[in-house]
Amino acid sequence: MTRRLRIATRGSELARTQADRVAALLGGDCDLVIVSTVGDRRTDAPIWEMGGQGVFVKEVQEAVLDGRADLAVHSAKDLPSTTPEGLVIGAFPERADPRDCLVGSTLADLPTGAVVATGSVRRRAQLAGLRPDLSFAPLRGNIQTRLDKAAGFDAAVFAVAALDRLGLSDRASEILEPEVMLPQVGQGALAVECRVEDAETFERLAAVDSVDVRMAVTAERAFLDEMGSGCNLPVGAFGRLDGEEVVVEALLASLDGRIVLRHSVRGTDPQAAGRAVAAGLMDDRGGRVLLEESA
């Protein structure tokens, strides 16, 4: 008889929906362990002011490390590029639509000087690059809270995957293709961590791991890791499989969107491709100068 698994997750409706999805993939014999993170508790400050990636995962990871849970389900986009000692990503089980979308208006229909709500510097910089006339307002909270607040602005930006998983895809006014807005690293993907020494859980996770998703997200995460913790500018990356190769496109932008740099690389090794696209962005597209000027 297999052991009943305990899944650590944040308490939002989206996080619980994602954890329930992983539980179903694992056979359904699971209990949820709800964890509150600093990102959930502090809705008064922009995510980037709290340190960016990691504000929604640290406490969830700690629940696995201290034995309260056997595994943790995350939105892959929330994970820092390095995994804490003692944990391993046992599965990237699936990836929903990785794109961003506008709620409230299409990009073309936004009037001059429109106010777009988003808490993401990546989204803000890319929209400003496309439409320098736009203004921006912060937007924090769970999906429903943000949808409610979005009515007070000309438009708001959401991840398509979040709306889809909650059955709210009809709220999207326009889906933004990666050519228009490059997604965040890992956007749309689920990442499941367990303890390194927990061979039984790791084996069960391996059975639901998607090779294609792992290749794409690994390339994106390698890009993020190569950019390093010293990068304080908007970045994005999107990997996709083309035959046996992974194609990864990456972005680095100034905060005001006046400079948006892009570069793409393909290869059979996702780690190498991710690191190569970061190097190309820095050395061939002027990213290093942009970083130095922002320091």
Note every long-range contact of 79-86, with CB atoms under 8 Å and residues 24 or more positions apart, other chains counting.
Answer: 79/53, 79/54, 79/186, 79/191, 79/221, 80/53, 80/54, 81/53, 81/185, 81/221, 81/222, 81/224, 81/225, 82/225, 83/193, 86/195, 86/196
Cβ–Cβ < 8 Å for 212, 242: no
Look up tokens 């890009």; give the residue.
223
What angle is formed at CA 238 by the lines to CA 97 and CA 280, rounded to 5 degrees?
175
Beta bridge partners of 10: 35
Q: Is the dihedral of CA 238, 242, 247, 249 positive or negative?
A: negative
Which residues belong to the active site? 78
Give the separation between CA 123 and CA 184, rounded to whole angstroms: 9
Angle 50-237-157 from CA coordinates, rounded to 5° = 60
Tokens matching residue 107: 């990009």
How crowded is the C-beta side of 222, counted as CA atoms within 13 Å?
22
Range list of H helices, the chain: 13-25, 38-41, 58-65, 121-130, 143-150, 160-165, 199-206, 211-227, 270-283, 287-294
C-alpha to C-alpha distance for 155 and 151, rounded to whole angstroms: 8
- Residue that has been written with the tokens 């804490």 in this structure: 84
Structure token pair of residue 15: 């996080």
